[in-house]
Amino acid sequence: MSEKITITIDGKTIETMAGHKILWAAMDSGIYIPHLCSARDNHSPSASCRLCFVEIEGYARPVTSCTEGAAEGMVISTRSQRVDRLVRTGFEMIISNHRIECRSCPRNRSCSLQQIAKERGLKLKPARLEKLNRNLPVDDSAQKVAHDPNKCVLCGLCVRACKEKGAGILGFSHRGFDRVITTFLGAPLGESGCDGCAACASACPVGSMTAKQ
Amino acid sequence: MILTEEEIREAAEKTREITAGCDTARGSLIPVLQKIQDRLGYVPAPAMEEAARHFGIPAVDVYGIVTFYNQFRLTPPGRHRVKVCMGTACHMKGGNIIMESWERVLKIKVGETTPDREFSLERVACVGCCTMAPVLVKDETVIGKMTPTKVDGMLFSHQLANKKEGVPQ
């Protein structure tokens, strides 16, 4: 698995390791591919954000680059009509229930959604979809972190960070539109054994989990 | 829902009995939760914690599974179970209005039980008599062509019957 190979992304020749995920091979060589849910050290990515699509020559349809390992001689393009359409729809669906208050958001200018919108020329307002505001209460009970579920994109990075570096108290609950990041029985963070490591806040790509000053 | 000491002890004990003869593979978690629900009628917090301990996973993961699947209950079933049909026909005929009426009169949300444990409210997906939509099943009785007024009437006659029998309110 660790032999050196050469692949081509958007006409640029890149040396990488066989099996290395295309998303990270591209990111490492300065080619940006939108992504929210994947982490570099995650070997079984959930591919749930549906934003990191790429076209690979010889493949029938676009694939998620966070799950596709590189192979010798692959010719990849990060943009095509089909890719752009998938990414645009995926992004609009995520943004349609994301509370937009960039100006007062602590992650303004360091937000992955803003970056994706900028890179791909997408709008932070869903043009074709109705805006769905869940109006969930902001959990301000913990000492070190605050959780605003209205800004959550359900990428699961905080759940993973909490299990690996923190107390392991975060998880998903409920289903569909009601899905949220929560603690056991939905207890407030401050009463759930949160040790204040703020690993969730550094993992959060948007302004949902934020470290308190 | 506040559980009694007795219920907490029973839940933990029964869960230990169920997990005792079970491996710790993650795939056995859902069958274990189903057995807990069979025995207790619901999956209470102490049972989830006990199951999490057995499988060596965080309790929040068990909570995630219990809230994901409709088959699991988090609260004990009431003495009377009200099931509101939310199937396609009933949905078109305003099943959600019937559900909202029950939520309003019982002051609980779907999936919950009233604090006196008299009623629990559930949603079901089609009971097979769509011509009578919107349909409701109270315990074993099917009641068709429901209206919010009928909901008020059902609750009132129930309270009246309880009063006659001398059941404290």
Dump pLDDT digits (tens) for B37-87: 999 999 999 999 999 999 999 999 999 999 999 889 999 999 999 999 999
Could you tell me if B52 and B102 lie in one domain? no
Kindly tell me if the per-residue pLDDT of B169 is higher than 70.
no
Is residue A125 very low, low, confident or very high in pLDDT (cuts 50, 70, 90)? confident
A186: chain B residues, CB-CB within 8 Å: 63
A201: three-class secondary structure by DSSP: helix
**Quick one: which of B160, B69, B169, B156 has its CA closest to B114?**
B169
Domain of residue B19, CATH code: 1.10.10
Q: Is some CB atom of chain A closer than 8 A to the CB atom of B129?
A: no
**DSSP label of A36:** S
Is residue B168 very low, low, confident or very high in pLDDT (cuts 50, 70, 90)? low
Question: What is the total count of domains within chain B?
Answer: 2
Q: Which residues contact A180 (CB under 8 A, 6 or more apart)?
A: A136, A149, A152, A172, A173, A174
Search chain B and give the residue with CA nearest A170.
B60
Q: How far apart are CA A111 and CA A103, in angstroms?
A: 12
Q: Is some CB atom of chain B closer than 8 A to the CB atom of A170?
A: yes
Residue A73 is predicted with a pLDDT of: 94
Question: What is the total count of domains within chain A?
Answer: 2
Q: Is some CB atom of chain A closer than 8 A to the CB atom of B45?
A: yes
Q: How far is B131 from chain A (nearest CA, A)?
A: 29
- Position B144 in a domain: yes
B64: chain A residues, CB-CB within 8 Å: 171-173, 182
What's the mean pLDDT in B10-18?
Answer: 93
Residue B89 is predicted with a pLDDT of: 94
Kindly tell me if the per-residue pLDDT of A133 is higher than 60.
yes
Could you tell me if B51 and B108 lie in one domain? no
Residue B164 is predicted with a pLDDT of: 85
Could you tell me if B113 and B151 lie in one domain? yes
- Position A142 in a domain: yes
**DSSP label of A133:** -
- For chains A and B, count residue pairs whose Cβ atoms are closer than 8 Å: 36
- Domain containing A186 equals 135-213
Could you tell me if B62 and B28 lie in one domain? yes
Contact A72, A5 (CB under 8 A): yes
- Position A101 in a domain: no
Select from A87, A102, A127 the last residue of a domain. A87
Residue A43 is predicted with a pLDDT of: 85
Between positions 86 and 125 of B, the ones with CB within 8 A of A are: none
Q: Which residues contact A147 (CB under 8 A, 6 or more apart)?
A: A138, A139, A181, A189, A208, A209
Instruction: State the complex-level ipTM.
Output: 0.89
B60 to A174: CB separation less than 8 angstroms, yes or no: no
Q: Give whole-number Cα distances, A196 to A142, A144, A166, A209, A211, in Å.
A: 8, 5, 8, 12, 9
B97-130 exposure pattern, b = at least 16 Cβ within 10 A, e = fewer: ebbebbeeebebeeebbbeeebbbbbbbeebeeb
- Domain containing B17 equals 5-68
Q: What is the pLDDT of chain A when averaged over all its residues?
A: 94
Report residue A1 as tokens.
């698995």
Kindly tell me if the per-residue pLDDT of B165 is higher than 90.
no
Q: How far apart are CA A172 and CA A156, in angstroms?
A: 8
Burial class (CB in 10 A: 0-12, 13-18, 19+), A162: buried
User: Within 13 A of B98's CA, how many CA atoms are on the CB side?
Assistant: 31
Residue B63 is predicted with a pLDDT of: 97
Select from B21, B41, B68 the last residue of a domain. B68
What's the mean pLDDT in A146-165?
Answer: 95
What's the mean pLDDT in A64-72?
Answer: 95
Kindly tell me if the per-residue pLDDT of A44 is higher than 90.
no
Q: How far is B47 from chain A (nearest CA, A)?
A: 12
Q: How far apart are CA B151 and CA A130, in angstroms?
A: 33
Kindly tell me if the per-residue pLDDT of A21 is higher than 70.
yes
Q: A96: which strand partners?
A: none
Kindly tell me if the per-residue pLDDT of A107 is higher than 70.
yes
Select from A48, A65, A87 the last residue of a domain. A87
A172: chain B residues, CB-CB within 8 Å: 64, 68
What's the mean pLDDT in A170-178?
Answer: 94
**Quick one: which of A146, A144, A142, A148 has its CA closest to A101?**
A148
Peptide bond just before B134 cis, omega within 30 deg: yes
Helix (H) or strand (E) holding B84: strand B80-85
Q: Which amino acid is at B77?
A: P
Residue A213 is predicted with a pLDDT of: 78
